[in-house]
Amino acid sequence: MSASKPRTRDSSALVAAARQARLHAHADYSNFKVGAALETADGTIVTGCNIENSTYGLTICAERVAMFKALSEGHLKFRRIAVAFDTNAPSPPCGACRQILWEFAGNIEVILSTLRKERSHHQLKDLLPLPFDKSHL
Ligand code: THU
């Protein structure tokens, strides 16, 4: 049998988890609710949502909540993250989240989705070109 190209893993469950996590967002100031679902190397899904604060600056994005939850639970290796937004086209993650994801997950797959069927798939290295990391220290 000839070797075939590996297929992209089905991301439906991960995207569904991100959409579900979005429902827990605390977004009283922006009204922009975001959900994230991070898949670890052993297949565990750790979710996060954005949590805003009246001081604004203490707001934390869904992606970082998911990553910090995962790290605090002892997960060290990650495969991919799905992020869900209620926008017409999938929105991109902010720069701070790209940096944190790079630090702890490296070049993972990033799946951006709306609440409908629109999705886009990216590699983190394309979203964060020329990243600063511990190799520069
Ligand atoms: N936000 C996220 O949670 N993730 C992103 O990738 C972009 C922005 C949040 C932060 C803030 O609560 C709201 O969306 C508006 O910026």
Q: Is 0.85 surpassed by the pTM of this model?
A: yes
Domain assignment of residue 21, yes or no: yes
**Number of compact structural domains in the chain:** 1
Q: Which helix (H) or strand (E) holds 66?
A: helix 62-72
- Confirm or reject: Cβ of 62 under 6 Å from ligand 1: yes
Token reading at 69? 């939850």
Domain residues for the domain of 32 are 12-129
pLDDT in tens, 15-39: 999 999 999 999 999 999 999 999 9
Question: For a substitution probing ligand 1, which of 32, 54, 85, 114 has the most ligand atoms within 8 Å of its CB?
Answer: 32
Do the Cβ atoms of 119 and 11 come closer than 8 Å? yes
Domain assignment of residue 88, yes or no: yes
Domain assignment of residue 115, yes or no: yes
- How much is the pLDDT for 7? 47
- How much is the pLDDT for 4? 44
- Going from the Cα of 94 to the center of ligand 1, the distance in angstroms, rounded, reads 7
CATH number of domain containing 103: 3.40.140.10
Question: For a substitution probing ligand 1, which of 22, 33, 38, 50 has the most ligand atoms within 8 Å of its CB?
Answer: 50
119 SS3 class: strand
CA nearest to 124, candidates 50, 67, 74, 46: 67
